[in-house]
Amino acid sequence: MSITTNDLDKLKKDNEGIISEEKSTNQFLQKDSCTDLEAVEETLENNFDDFEDDDDDDDYDDEEEQSYYGQFSKSWDELTFSDNFLFCKIMEDEEICRQLLEILLPIKIEKIRYLSQEKEFKPSYRGRSIRMDVFLKDSNRMFDIEIQTSDFKKLALRARFYQGALDVSTTKKRAKFSKMKESYILFLCKGDPFDSGIPVYTVKQTFFEQPDKPYDDRTHKVFYNCKAYEVADDEDLKGLLEFIQTNRASTAFSHKLEENVRIAKKNSRWEEEYMYFSDVLEEEKDKVRRIARKQGRQEGRQEGLALGKQEGVALGKQEGIELGKQEGARENAIKNARNFLKMEIATFEQIAQGTGLSVEEVQKLAEEVETEKK
């Protein structure tokens, strides 16, 4: 089950905000938004039902979902540029996006023609969907920018899946392969994704037999290790990585990001949206906990019944053995008492004491023995 800001955007009449730093006022320009909360709740309920009914979740990526939920665990005041929600909001400024891309990549970016935050792609009905933090394109290229604060173990596989889903979702039916756009998948990591201590990992595809011959399918994957910002060669890149990792601004662009973050934190509409998602996700997790507890009780009850049955059988056997022993001992006591009475060698009290029977039982046995003699 995935709850994205894209889910919320689908249910708003207009929820596209554009951050723009005006030269004169240095303020954000925004469009009005109106949230249909009942529709949102209905969507969440449907998603929750899907969660309950889905029998194909054996390979469910719990770590990724936990990471997504984790972004809403902070208070609004604690958020920084590296937090997904605020990162996506800041990246709504097309000029900021363009400058960030030109720092990350050694290419010139044309005017951005399409911009989307937390865009969700689902290549097929039953296929897994993906959330892209910031997806944009210029005239002939597509870019996906991901902010990653933890869980770096599966990034290579995620990049592979993102690339394939991006191609399938953006290529029109019967389009010529030659018309496919060049694409870039970029991961900004607050940690070393491949443990080599370098600031940038650029994936280069070649032929195994001819390593010097490039294999150009117009796809690019680049991973940035913000933790290694100090050894970055380019000063602007170093400043960007440092700001993401430490929240300290040291270059003109990182100071610009810092100012955008400061102004964004004063945006009451975004704060309300963030807090709403925090509440919704907390309610969602509570529902999951309730289901887990209910399932746990049912499983516990079944296990308890099975265990009780086993213990009951064992106890019954033990009681049967004890009862059998008691009945056998009584039969033996009666037999001995009858023999003593026939031999007339002891009083009733002595026979009772010797066999464990009561005096009344011995007297009754004596009557039976006398009757048998006649």
Domain layout of the chain by residue ranges: 5-266, 296-373
Quick one: pLDDT at residue 27? 36
From residue 207, how far is each of 72, 162, 210, 217, 282 by CA, in Å?
A: 43, 23, 5, 12, 49
C-alpha to C-alpha distance for 40 and 42, rounded to whole angstroms: 5
Sheet holding 219-225, edge to edge: 114-121, 130-137, 141-148, 182-189, 219-225, 200-202
Task: List strand residue ranges (DSSP E) for 122-277, in order.
Answer: 130-137, 141-148, 182-189, 200-202, 219-225
C-alpha to C-alpha distance for 34 and 369, rounded to whole angstroms: 104
In one letter, which amino acid is 279?
D
C-alpha to C-alpha distance for 359 and 350, rounded to whole angstroms: 9
Contact criterion met (CB below 8 Å) for 148 and 190: yes
Quick one: pLDDT at residue 336? 84
User: Kind and range of the H or E element at 120?
Assistant: strand 114-121
Whole-model pTM over 0.85: no
CA 233 to chain centroid, in Å, comes to: 37
Quick one: pLDDT at residue 151? 79
Quick one: pLDDT at residue 5? 45
Residue numbers in the chain where pLDDT is lower than 50: 1-60, 124-127, 129
Quick one: pLDDT at residue 343? 80
